[in-house]
């Protein structure tokens, strides 16, 4: 009988879903990164979620945060997220904690009740405190680094804090972790150099903890949150006894631009264009990765009435591609030619 996790079960299997259903994950910080990560956890079937954030939804959150809608303005973010989770799967147990995690409140949180902690806090002192207390409690923790002042959602990597580069927040955390001898800390960080906000366009006053208000957008924090959520899911499966994680994709690797409707006009944005299958597997954190071959796809499409385009898989374009045209201009050219042929 199909249910809302049918597609997930087809990829991970029933034992994996059962393990996720038994897991209790805490997420600290329900903003642009944390909110997206919580969404991943909920839609993956994690059975119990504890959310921590003291902020309410503000107008400036609407450009990037999943919980931010005009209908949720003024609501606590944890409450808005809890309501969203209930609409995704009402059987998930959610604890909405309207609190900011710091030295004054840390003692109120028993970290040992969690199977995993995800840190999406944006203040250094709170991050370091949470890392230290998780280490003391023996609880796995994943920390997100900086997602503001960036434009490249493909630049995120997963690594130990000692192997991070470029990211200014990661540099601070790395130095402080060394001072405190906190050992290995798994993080998600970006290799993109930060871009300073446009001074003439900044109208939001800075808060006490920041000298300037960071610039952000809809896609970079969301991408970071997706990576964070996926890492928590995979780590939970390994913790539950999965010795290995193998991923299979029912299509060949996307290696070339598509000018016919898939909205990809730059092959450099495609991970398979400049990484081997083995490298991609390492980047996404799986033990092996396999794709459907191009020849098998062509066989499956043998009986299609209008043929099958394999250009994006490296199979060659069925029409000439103007070198100076972007996707939209090329679509217009095709459309004009089709009109002429139909006359």
Summarised one tens digit per residue, pLDDT across range 16-31 is: 999 999 999 999 999 9
Residue 302 pLDDT > 80: no
What is the per-residue pLDDT for 340? 59
Confidence of residue 328 (pLDDT cuts 50, 70, 90): low
Confidence of residue 92 (pLDDT cuts 50, 70, 90): very high
Confidence of residue 2 (pLDDT cuts 50, 70, 90): low
Give the list of residues 6+ apart from residue 343 with CB closer than 8 angstroms, or none: none
Overall pTM > 0.85: no
Contact 45, 21 (CB under 8 A): yes
Average pLDDT over residues 137-146: 97
Confidence of residue 130 (pLDDT cuts 50, 70, 90): very high
What is the per-residue pLDDT for 34? 98
β-pair partners for 301: none
Look over the chain and give the mean of its residue pLDDT values, rounded to a whole number.
88
Which tens digit of pLDDT belongs to each residue from 286-296? 888 989 888 77
What is the per-residue pLDDT for 42? 98
What is the per-residue pLDDT for 317? 79
Which tens digit of pLDDT belongs to each residue from 249-273? 878 898 888 776 666 667 777 888 8
Q: Burial, 159: exposed, middle or buried (Cβ in 10 Å; 0-12, 13-18, 19+)?
A: middle
Residue 32 pLDDT > 60: yes
Average pLDDT over residues 123-130: 97
Confidence of residue 229 (pLDDT cuts 50, 70, 90): very high
% of the chain exceeding 90 in pLDDT: 63
Confidence of residue 246 (pLDDT cuts 50, 70, 90): confident
What is the per-residue pLDDT for 53? 98
What is the per-residue pLDDT for 18? 96
CA-wise closest residue to 48 among 24, 20, 80, 81: 24
What is the per-residue pLDDT for 111? 98
Contact 131, 143 (CB under 8 A): yes
What is the per-residue pLDDT for 99? 97
CA distances from 255 to 137, 147, 247, 265, 294 (A): 45, 27, 18, 11, 12
Average pLDDT over residues 30-59: 98
């Amino acid at each position: 009988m199909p249910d809302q996790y049918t597609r997930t079960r087809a990829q991970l299997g029933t034992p994996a879903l059962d393990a996720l259903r038994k897991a209790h994950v805490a997420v600290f910080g329900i903003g642009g990164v944390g909110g997206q990560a919580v969404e991943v956890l909920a839609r993956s079937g994690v059975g119990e979620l504890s959310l921590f954030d003291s902020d309410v939804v503000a107008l400036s959150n609407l450009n990037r945060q999943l919980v931010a809608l005009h209908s949720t303005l003024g609501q606590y973010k944890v409450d808005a997220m809890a309501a969203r989770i209930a609409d995704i799967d009402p059987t998930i147990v959610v604890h909405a904690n309207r609190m900011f995690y710091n030295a004054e409140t840390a003692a109120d949180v028993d970290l040992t009740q969690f199977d995993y902690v995800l840190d999406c806090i944006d203040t250094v002192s709170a991050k370091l405190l949470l890392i230290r207390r998780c280490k003391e409690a023996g609880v796995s923790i994943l920390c997100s680094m900086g997602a503001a002042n960036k434009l490249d959602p493909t630049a995120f990597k997963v690594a130990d804090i000692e192997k991070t580069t470029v990211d200014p927040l990661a540099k601070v955390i790395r130095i402080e972790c060394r001072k405190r001898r906190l050992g290995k800390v798994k993080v998600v960080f970006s290799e993109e150099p930060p871009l300073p906000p446009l001074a003439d366009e900044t109208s939001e006053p800075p808060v006490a903890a920041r000298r300037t208000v960071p610039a952000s957008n809809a896609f970079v924090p969301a991408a970071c949150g997706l990576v964070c959520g996926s890492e928590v899911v995979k780590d939970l499966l390994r913790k539950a006894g999965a010795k290995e994680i193998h991923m299979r994709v029912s299509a060949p690797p996307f290696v070339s631009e598509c000018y016919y409707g898939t909205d990809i006009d730059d092959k450099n944005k495609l991970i398979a264009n400049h990484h081997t299958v083995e490298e991609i597997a390492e980047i996404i954190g799986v033990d092996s990765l396999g794709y459907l071959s191009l020849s098998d796809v062509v066989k499956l499409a043998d009986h299609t009435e209008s043929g099958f385009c394999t250009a994006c898989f490296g199979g060659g374009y069925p029409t000439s591609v103007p070198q100076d045209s972007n996707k939209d201009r090329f679509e217009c050219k095709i459309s004009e030619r089709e009109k002429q042929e139909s006359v």
